[in-house]
Amino acid sequence: MTFDIAAALRQSPPAPALPWKGFPAYNFVGGHNDAASVPAAALAAAAEAALLKEGATLATYGLESGPQGYTPFRAAIAAMLKRRTGIDASLDQILATSGSLQALDLVFGLFLDAGDVVFLEAACYGGTLTRLKARGVEIVGIELDEDGMRADALDAAIQAAKAAGKRAKMIYTIPTVQNPTASVMSEARRRAILDVAARHGLSIFEDDCYADLVFAGGRPKAFRALDTSGRVVYCGSFSKSLAPALRVGFIVADWAVISRLLPLKGDGGTGAIEQMALAGYIADQFDAHVDALRGTLKAKADALVEALGEHFGAAAEFDVPAGGIFLWVTLPKEVDTTRLFQAAGAEGVAINPGREWSTDPGYGGRRIRLCFANPSVETIREGVAKLADICHREFGVPLRSGNIARG
C-alpha cells in the first residue's frame, strides 16, 4: 500500500513547485548575471590559495573565526565598504549570510511582529513583499519619484499610521539602483529620510544589493554611512556584482543587533569555500571587475531601451535605468500585465508582471519588470520583438502603424 504523504503535511502547505525544464528562450526574469563576466578563474585561484593556507580550519564550524563568518572575509568586506560606500564598520559589526535573502529573513525575524507597520517603496522587490506578508506585517507603499522614496510622503504615511493607533516600526528601502525602478536616491533625499526616521523613532533597513552597478557618476554614500544614531541596518550581496549562485551576503549593524541576530542564524555558518574565495578576490580584483561589468550591463540596457523604442514605441513608458540589471516598464491601461505574463510565458518569453513587484496591485497591473543582464544583446532584441507581437495580439498594443518608434 502506498503511503499518502500529502495527508501527513501541515494544513495549508505551499503549492507544489513544477519540475524545472530549463530557462525559456527569452528569459527576462530573475537576478541572473552576464555569464561571460563571471570571474571563474580568479575565484578559483583565490579559493585554492586560501584552502592551501587554511584548509584545515574546515574541520570546525566557523573556520576558527566564530559564528559571524571567516575573519579575512569580514576584513575584506570592511575595507570594501569603506572605499565604496563610506561605511566605517568594525569586524564585530559584520555578519556573513547565505545571500541577501537570508539577511532579509534574519532582520525581519528580529525586528518585526505580526501587525507591525513597515514603510517601503510602492514598487519594491517581490521577495521582500512575500516575506513581510508571511509575517503578518502591514505594508505601506510610499510614492516614488525620480529620486526614489519621497520623504514627505513617508512622513505623512507614518503620521497616519500612528494616528490610527498602529505600530509604525521600520522603513525598508533599496535606495541605490532601486528594484524595480533602478532609480538612485540622492544624498540629500537620504538625509531627509533619516530625519523623518529620527522624528518618529523608526529603524531603517537599507538593502544595498545592487549599488555596485551604478553605470556612471558613482554612488551616493550609504544610509549607514550617513547615520549617527545606530538606527540603520545594512545588507549587501555579491549576487549581482559577481554571481548569484555564490549565495554570499552580509549584514552590517551595531553589535546590539548582530548579537541578537546570531541566535536566529542557526545554519552552522555561511558557505566556507565561498567566503575563502571572496576574501582573497575582493581585496585586489573586485573594483576592476565591477568597472568592466558595468560597461557590459550598460550595453545590454541600451539594447533593451532601443528594442522597446523600435517595437513598442510610445506604448512603453520607462525611465532609462541609472544602473543595475532591470527595467521597469509601464504599458497602456488596456494591457493587463498578469495576462501578458501568462501569454508570453506560453511562447517562451518570461517577464515579471508588475503586481508581484508592487504594494498596490492596481499600480502594478500595467507594469512589467524586464531583466537584461543574462540574455545576449541579440536575444534581447529578438525577445522584445516577440513580446511586442504577443502584446499586440492580446491587447492591440502597440499599434501597428508601420512606424511606432519614438523620436
In this structure, are 99 and 29 located in the same domain?
Answer: no
CB-CB contact of 135 with 108 (8 Å): yes
Q: Is the pLDDT of residue 188 over 80?
A: yes
Per the domain annotation, does 1 fall within a domain? no
CB-CB contact of 279 with 70 (8 Å): yes
Residue at grid coordinates 521600520: 170
pLDDT, residue 386, reads: 98
Beta-carbon neighbour count of residue 267 at 10 Å? 11
Q: Is the pLDDT of residue 198 over 80?
A: yes
In this structure, are 303 and 271 located in the same domain?
Answer: no
Question: Of 120, 74, 129, nearest to 97 (Cα)?
Answer: 74
Per the domain annotation, does 357 fall within a domain? yes
Domain boundary among 259, 284, 309: 284
In this structure, are 218 and 276 located in the same domain?
Answer: yes
Q: Is the pLDDT of residue 399 over 90?
A: no
**Mean pLDDT of all residues in 98-109:** 96
**What distance, in Å, lies between the first and last C-alpha atoms of the chain?**
69
Farthest CA pair distance, the chain: 69
**Mean pLDDT of all residues in 48-73:** 95
Question: Of 320, 313, 318, nearest to 404 (Cα)?
Answer: 313
**Mean pLDDT of all residues in 1-28:** 91
In this structure, are 242 and 325 located in the same domain?
Answer: no
Q: Is the pLDDT of residue 402 over 90?
A: no
Q: Is the pLDDT of residue 1 over 90?
A: no
Per the domain annotation, does 9 fall within a domain? no
Confidence category of residue 407, pLDDT binned at 50, 70, 90: very low
Share of the chain above pLDDT 90, in %: 92
Of residues 132 and 403, which shows the higher confidence score?
132
In this structure, are 207 and 352 located in the same domain?
Answer: no
User: How many structural domains comprise the chain?
Assistant: 2
In this structure, are 340 and 247 located in the same domain?
Answer: no
In this structure, are 46 and 128 located in the same domain?
Answer: yes
Reported as a single tens digit per residue, the pLDDT across 217-274 is: 889 999 999 999 999 999 999 999 999 999 999 999 999 999 999 999 999 999 999 9
Per the domain annotation, does 304 fall within a domain? yes
Per the domain annotation, does 407 fall within a domain? no
pLDDT, residue 84, reads: 94
Reported as a single tens digit per residue, the pLDDT across 279-296 is: 999 989 999 999 999 999
Residue 184 CA to residue 147 CA, distance in Å, equals 6
Reported as a single tens digit per residue, the pLDDT across 226-239 is: 999 999 999 999 99
Per the domain annotation, does 31 fall within a domain? yes
Q: Is the pLDDT of residue 405 over 70?
A: no
Residue 161 CA to residue 351 CA, distance in Å, equals 34
Per the domain annotation, does 14 fall within a domain? no
Strands (E), 14-64: 26-27
Q: Is the pLDDT of residue 142 over 90?
A: yes
pLDDT, residue 401, reads: 52
Q: Is the pLDDT of residue 404 over 90?
A: no
In this structure, are 236 and 313 located in the same domain?
Answer: no
**Mean pLDDT of all residues in 108-130:** 97
- DSSP output for 269-328: -S-HHHHHHHHHHHHHTHHHHHHHHHHHHHHHHHHHHHHHHHHTGGGSB-PPPSBSSEEE
CB-CB contact of 261 with 251 (8 Å): yes
Q: What range defines the domain where residue 382 resides?
A: 23-38+288-395
Reported as a single tens digit per residue, the pLDDT across 295-328 is: 999 999 999 999 999 999 999 999 999 999 999 9
In this structure, are 69 and 34 located in the same domain?
Answer: no
Per the domain annotation, does 58 fall within a domain? yes
Domain boundary among 255, 284, 313: 284
Residue 4 CA to residue 232 CA, distance in Å, equals 48
Task: Reduce the DSSP state of residue 367 to 3 states and report it.
Answer: strand
pLDDT, residue 67, reads: 95
Beta-carbon neighbour count of residue 8 at 10 Å? 7
Domain boundary among 266, 284, 302: 284
How many alpha carbons fall within 13 Å on the CB side of residue 307? 24
Reported as a single tens digit per residue, the pLDDT across 328-369 is: 999 999 999 999 999 999 999 999 999 999 999 889 999 999
Q: In this structure, what CATH number is given to the domain that contains residue 261?
A: 3.40.640.10
In this structure, are 349 and 238 located in the same domain?
Answer: no
Q: In this structure, what CATH number is given to the domain that contains residue 330?
A: 3.90.1150.10
**Dihedral angle sign, alpha carbons of residues 317, 320, 322, 325:** positive
CB-CB contact of 222 with 250 (8 Å): no
DSSP state of 5: G
Confidence category of residue 182, pLDDT binned at 50, 70, 90: very high
**Dihedral angle sign, alpha carbons of residues 126, 365, 161, 146:** positive
In this structure, are 182 and 129 located in the same domain?
Answer: yes
In this structure, are 271 and 371 located in the same domain?
Answer: no
Question: Of 314, 271, 302, 303, nearest to 407 (Cα)?
Answer: 314
H helix intervals, 346-400: 361-364, 377-395
